Structure 1
Amino acid sequence: MYYEDTDAAGVIYYANYLRYCERARTEWLRAAGFEQQALLTEQRIGFVVRSVAGDYLSAGMLDDALHVTTGVETLRGASMVFVQKVMRGDEVLFRGRFVIACVDLDRKRPTPLPADMRTKLEKLVQA
């Protein structure tokens, strides 16, 4: 990790784990074939964090090489539940569960996941 990610003691600041997970979800969706900018402009939908539960299990430090695992646990009508881990090698530093809501940007209200997205994501839901 970088100096900007840490506190004065060289420990990764706790809120940065949420940032890492956000970036990983974006990359996960991109790898699944969904560009968020296209969803915003073409379908007028976006994704917002409805709730998050996290466990901080071990401290990450300056210069640690971290990676984030991402998977979908559940698909619901207008939301999906992601499970993510921030890892240093095989060690889990942070484990989080994120409920992500699909929102109609014009109405500012939840809206069902698009049918094509649901079909594709159903194949990726963890068993």
Structure 2
Amino acid sequence: MDKAYAGAFVGRTHHFALRVYFEDTDVAGIVYYANYLKFMERARSDMLRAAGIDQRAAIKAGEGVYAVAEVQIRYRTPARLDDELVILSELKEVRAASALIHQRVMRGPEIVAEASVTAAFLSLDGRPKRQPRDWIERFERLKGEAD
């Protein structure tokens, strides 16, 4: 598996850095609200990759795929053009067919936005399916590092 990813785990928290580009903002130079979901999606994908989960191989093998089933997001303060952000992602709960992930978009010590995301594991025809056992074990180990 490719080891060239942008983020890394610090304890049980995955850190993913990015910069706000012009394309991420509205005419006032403020990040458009929907783009926070894109930033968080990139961070979650990178977190899985850093945990040793190969989503592309799982799709190719017909095992299944993650899809966001629910998001609760709170916007606290706007991010702006050229801001350096870090998305912190923590696995909060692991179930047979889903995982609950808490994510915070940070600008230095300031929380810009935060969300709770439920990622469901689905068969390729879109039905809920048990996650691969070794994935659940990896998630439980990551979750347990702070316990």
Same fold (TM over 0.5): yes
How big is each residue's C-alpha offset from its partner over 1:66-124, in whole Å with a ceiling of 9 and x where there is no partner? 1100111000110000100011111110000000000010x320001111111111011
Instruction: Output aligned runs, 1:27-106, within 5 Å.
Output: 27-105=46-124
Query: Which residue in the other structure is 2:7 paired with?
Result: none
1:114 and 1:36 mapped to 2: Cα distance? Answer: 11
1:22-45 C-alpha deviation (Å, 9 max, x unpaired)? 000000000000121011112431
Q: CA RMSD in A?
A: 1.0
1:109 alignment partner in structure 2: 127
Q: Does 1:121 align with 2:139?
A: yes
Q: Structure 1: 5+ residue runs without aligned partners?
A: none
What stretches of structure 2 of length at least 5 have no aligned partner? Answer: 1-19
| Letter of the structure 2 residue corresponding to residue 124 of structure 1 | L
SS at match of 2:142: coil
Which stretch of structure 1 is more off in the superposition, 50-59 or 37-46?
A: 37-46
Q: Distance in 2 between matches of 1:101 and 1:8?
A: 35
What letter is aligned with 1:45? G
Normalised to the residue count of structure 1, the TM-score between the two structures is 0.95
**Identity across the alignment (%):** 38
SS in 1 for 2:138: helix
Q: Secondary structure at the match of 1:86?
A: strand
TM-score by length of 2: 0.83
Question: 4+ residue stretches of structure 1 with deviation over 2 A?
Answer: none
Report how many aligned residue pairs link the two structures: 126
Aligned equivalents of 2:58, 2:48: Cα separation in 1: 11
